[in-house]
Amino acid sequence: MRAIFYTGERGRFELDIAVPKNYPLRPPKIYFITKIFHPNIHFKTGEICLDLRSVPPQLKNAWSAVYTLQSVCRSIIALLSHPEPDSPLNCDCGNLLRSGDVRGYNSLARMYTKLYAHALPPSLTGE
Find the CATH number of the domain harbouring 56.
3.10.110.10
Q: Where are the alpha helices (DSSP H) in the chain?
A: 69-81, 91-98, 102-116, 122-125
Entry pTM: 0.81
Annotated catalytic residue 73: no
- As a whole number of angstroms, the distance between CA 3 and CA 85 comes to 24
Q: How many domains, the chain?
A: 1
99 vs 121, residue with greater confidence = 99
Q: In this predicted structure, what is the pLDDT of residue 98?
A: 96
Q: Which of 15-24, 57-66, 110-119 has the lowest mean pLDDT?
A: 57-66
**53 pLDDT higher than 60:** no
Active-site residue (options: 49, 73, 91, 93)? 49
Mean pLDDT of 96-122: 87
- Separation of alpha carbons 94 and 83, rounded Å: 9
d(CA 117, CA 105): 17
Backbone angles phi, psi at 38, to 5 degrees: -155, 140
CB 94 within 8 A of CB 88: yes
Residue 10: Cβ within 10 Å count: 16
Domain that holds residue 20: 2-125
Given pLDDT bands bounded at 50, 70 and 90, which one contains residue 15?
Answer: very high
